[in-house]
């Protein structure tokens, strides 16, 4: 589940450490290093967002996760970051701090059968490194599986590990969701999943907005989005509103363009007017 402007497994990132599941994201904007965990090594997702920047994206779920490889890679990389020379070799002096660990891959992380075990593993490793409770563990998800009891159990577990969920809501109507995320989804069911998730673990909504064929989201689309998210305003931590930070690698790429920062700021204010905390990243 990729997020515009956040973690993605670009070749550059992969090349830095050459691992299968772990990749670093060095961000000047965030002022530090994030450790990304990509469980979807086959670039398969159960959604197909038209802005998605995963190359050769296919529908599906990941192959079995080799938990021993994940463990070895995470330990090795944490060692390099905390006790080795990773920071000196790759990170600008002012940005040499570890910001978080994020499940954010080339597909939906919770669709991995071993996702619950992966959380257990991260908890164990963070405890061994003395980071449990101090380092944030984020899950970047499209939220589509947040009605499964075992996934919600994992969210409760994640909450105990200083966890946080970023849950995707890009549109408020069935048509809008089909147009942007290329899935058939009842918005009411999606918001119910969001509520389930937010009750289990601190949860932010993440929303990507852009112009399609030169036109920004219509007033009708915006009204549907605001009406939908206002239903959960008392259980979410806030909204991260993103513009099109990276190039889409989907067939619709040429139809997408960035919205002016002022447009996104105005949109952010409309969400704030509902009484919701908003972070805008144009």
Q: Which is nearer to ligand SF4, 135 or 209 (CB)?
A: 209
Per CB under 6 A, the list member of 7, 25, 49, 236 interacting with ligand SF4 is: 49
- How is 167-230 classified by DSSP, letter by letter? EE---SSHHHHHHHH-S---HHHHHHHHHHHHHHS-EEEEEE--EETTBPPPHHHHHHHHHHHH
- Per-residue buried b or exposed e for 91-114, using 16+ beta carbons within 10 Å of the residue's own CB: beeebbebbbbbbbbbbbbbbbeb
- 196 versus 206: smaller Cβ distance to ligand SF4: 206
Question: Quick check: 210 binds ligand SF4 (CB under 6 A)?
Answer: no
Q: What is the dihedral of CA 53, 55, 59, 65, to 10 degrees?
A: -100
Specify the length of the chain in residues: 282
| x/- track of binding to ligand SF4 for residues 141-170 (CB under 6 A) | -x----------------------------
Residue 38 or 154 having the CB closest to ligand SF4: 38
**Chain position carrying tokens 């050769």:** 56
Decide: is 48 part of the binding site for ligand SF4 (CB under 6 A).
yes
Nearer to ligand SF4, 52 or 152 (CB): 52
CB of 220 to ligand SF4, least distance (A): 23
C-beta of 73: minimal distance to ligand SF4 in Å?
21
Applying CB under 6 A, the residues found at the interface with ligand SF4 are: 1-2, 45, 47-49, 52, 54, 57, 107-108, 142
């Amino acid at each position: 589940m990729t997020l515009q402007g956040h973690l993605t497994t670009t070749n550059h990132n992969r090349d830095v450490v050459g691992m299968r599941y772990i990749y670093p994201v060095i961000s000047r904007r965030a002022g530090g290093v994030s450790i990304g965990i990509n469980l979807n090594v086959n670039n398969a997702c159960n959604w197909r967002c038209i802005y998605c920047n995963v190359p050769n994206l296919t529908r599906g779920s990941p192959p079995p996760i080799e938990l021993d490889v994940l463990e070895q890679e995470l330990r090795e990389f944490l060692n390099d970051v905390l006790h080795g020379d990773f920071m000196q070799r790759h990170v600008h002096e002012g940005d040499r701090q570890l910001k978080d660990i994020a499940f954010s891959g080339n597909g939906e992380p919770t669709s991995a059968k071993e996702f619950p075990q992966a959380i257990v593993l991260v908890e164990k490793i963070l405890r061994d490194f003395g980071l449990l409770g101090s380092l944030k563990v984020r899950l970047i998800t499209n939220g589509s599986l947040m009605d499964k009891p075992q996934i919600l159990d994992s969210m409760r577990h994640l909450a105990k590990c200083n966890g946080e969920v970023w849950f995707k809501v890009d549109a408020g109507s069935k048509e809008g969701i089909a147009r942007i995320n290329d899935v058939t989804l009842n918005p009411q069911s999606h918001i119910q999943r969001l509520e389930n998730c937010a009750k289990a673990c601190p949860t932010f909504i993440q929303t990507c907005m852009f112009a399609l064929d030169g036109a920004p989201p219509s007033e009708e689309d915006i009204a549907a989005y605001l009406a939908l998210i206002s239903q959960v305003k008392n259980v979410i931590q806030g909204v991260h509103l993103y513009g099109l930070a990276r190039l889409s690698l989907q067939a619709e790429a040429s139809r997408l363009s960035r919205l002016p920062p002022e447009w996104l700021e105005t949109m952010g204010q409309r969400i704030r007017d509902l009484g919701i905390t908003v972070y805008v990243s144009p």
